[in-house]
Amino acid sequence: MVSIPLWSFFLLVLCSALFFLLYLLVPSVRWFFRRKVSRLIEQLNQNLHIELPPFKLTQRQSLIDNLICDSQVLQAAKDWAEAEGESLAEAQALIQLYAKEIVPSFNAYFYFKIGHWLARKISSLLFRVRLGLVNERFEQIPPDAAMIFVINHRSNLDYILVSTFVANRTAISYAVGEWARVWPLHTLIRTLGAYFVRRTSSNSLYRKVLERYVQMATQAGVTQAIFLEGKLTTNGKLNPPRLGLLDYMLRDYEPEKHKDLFFIPVAINYDRTLEDRSLLLAQRKEKTHASMTQVLQTTLGFVGKVLFFRLLGRWHRFGYACANFGEPLSLQSYLKKRQIQLSQLSKEERFVEVEAMAKSLMERIGNIIPVLPVALVAKVFLNEAGNHLSLLELKGRVLTLIERFQALDIPIYIPRGDMDYAIQVGLRMLTLRRFVFEEEAGYRLNEAEKEILSYYANSLSHYPV
């Protein structure tokens, strides 16, 4: 019989447990999930229209190392150190910080099995989600080409909505702003393949690191989505384009060396934008910044309200959310038509060309923004401000407006193909939110909510109707 002190026995048990955990259990679990993910990727590449590029599946640390060691980034570090009077070590430390912040850690299993399921559940819980127009050339994009979805920005749900529609074709990488850099949201978003952008940063070293990552991803064929407006619309109208990310994608592009890029205009509209009041406050600059506590309180309050009414069986979705996919723009065809080589232009000349292309893409988006019931009814009430409208008068004016849109071949989504039902949907949404009052003399605009009605009507303001 061998006797040892009790503390030695517990230490031995602890060491044995750690050995079992670190050298047997963890590697086995890791091997199991890697095998499962590998099988999923093989299956996805057989089913997806565009295969997942190796760049997207590369380990995050390898991408970070490649970005840190990139020759252009290293030269930018030297220039920054000289200009700022800092050491090269300080510049390299900043590069590491920026690279770790920007580079995503895409997980195919999480994206397609969990993320896609969550996106469908969230969008269908909040809206009646509909896919409207899909240009026939969208289906003809070659599988070996890179796709860039260019989207108008009305809500933070735009990410979820577009991802839901294209999940059977490819995985999208988004550029997300500072709002998403909070725990634990940043880990979730990074796992879904998104990369973070400091939109207001003027640091030349940061801009170079971001530029090189965007160029590497684009040239490797990663499918991306960008919001050319750069920020959410605060008044419902389309914002002018910002050129930053688009310029990064285009400045070193050479048709002979790189694969073709197809820019696909995507136009989204909602019967209700969840952030509408916050956006109007931001427009009036009454609220410059919300604390994290306020954001969490608002979010949890909204989620609690949804769940409460859901349990009571009194939950009504926020109308319709619709997306249209327009005619893709081939970059090679566009450059050939204009007879230009972007990589050979000066900075000023290149910006002129990039701006022209951005305006062309925004015009394509504007031409296919879905006309939805709430925007139609809101537009009529604004035209008749101060007047009472009977239900018959309201229907007559909305139908006249619909005929004008149809005459111009503007895409209108008519729920169930029933115009009378579409008017009822729009009117119900406005009366439930007390934007419109129902009185004995008919329906009347709530003057106190005129601004928010204008927000929804403004989604159609660019149309000549």
Token readout for 11 is 């230490």
Same-domain status, 226 and 331: yes
Q: Within a domain: residue 32?
A: no
Which of 348, 366, 384 terminates a domain? The answer is 366
Give CA 51 to chain center in angstroms.
21
pLDDT band at 32 (very low <50, low <70, confident <90, very high): low
Same-domain status, 264 and 406: no
pLDDT digits (tens, 9 = 90+) for 237-264: 999 999 999 999 999 899 888 889 999 9
**What range defines the domain where residue 436 resides?**
373-460
Same-domain status, 354 and 384: no
Same-domain status, 338 and 361: yes
Return the SS3 of 201: coil
Same-domain status, 344 and 384: no
Looking at the DSSP bridge assignments, the partners of residue 323 are 131, 268
Q: Within a domain: residue 121?
A: yes
Task: Give the model's pLDDT for residue 37.
Answer: 61
Give the β-pairing of 173-176 and 224-226: parallel
Q: Within a domain: residue 239?
A: yes
Same-domain status, 341 and 197: yes
CATH code of the domain containing 205:
3.40.1130
Judge contact between 130 and 270, C-beta under 8 A.
no
Same-domain status, 335 and 424: no
Does residue 286 or residue 390 have the better pLDDT? 390
Task: Give the model's pLDDT for residue 397.
Answer: 95
Same-domain status, 202 and 324: yes
Please state the domain count of the chain.
2
Same-domain status, 110 and 251: yes
Same-domain status, 334 and 447: no
**Euclidean distance between CA atoms 337 and 343, whole angstroms:** 16
Q: Within a domain: residue 24?
A: no
pTM score, two decimals? 0.87
Token readout for 70 is 């990139």
CATH code of the domain containing 438:
1.10.10
Task: Give the model's pLDDT for residue 277.
Answer: 86
Q: Within a domain: residue 42?
A: no
Q: Within a domain: residue 287?
A: no
Which residue, chain included where needed, has tokens 């640390």? 61
Q: Within a domain: residue 305?
A: no
Q: What are phi and psi of 23, to 5 degrees?
A: -105, -10
Which of 366, 394, 424 terminates a domain? The answer is 366
Count of Cβ atoms closer than 10 Å to residue 123 Cβ = 19
Residue 61 CB contacts under 8 Å (≥ 6 apart), including other chains? none
Give 412's DSSP letter.
B
Which of 350, 366, 382 terminates a domain? The answer is 366
Residue 174 confidence (pLDDT) above 70: yes
Residue 406 confidence (pLDDT) above 60: yes
pLDDT band at 25 (very low <50, low <70, confident <90, very high): low
Same-domain status, 101 and 129: yes
Q: Within a domain: residue 13?
A: no
The whole-number average pLDDT for the span 105-121 is 87
pLDDT band at 377 (very low <50, low <70, confident <90, very high): very high
Same-domain status, 324 and 450: no
pLDDT band at 201 (very low <50, low <70, confident <90, very high): confident
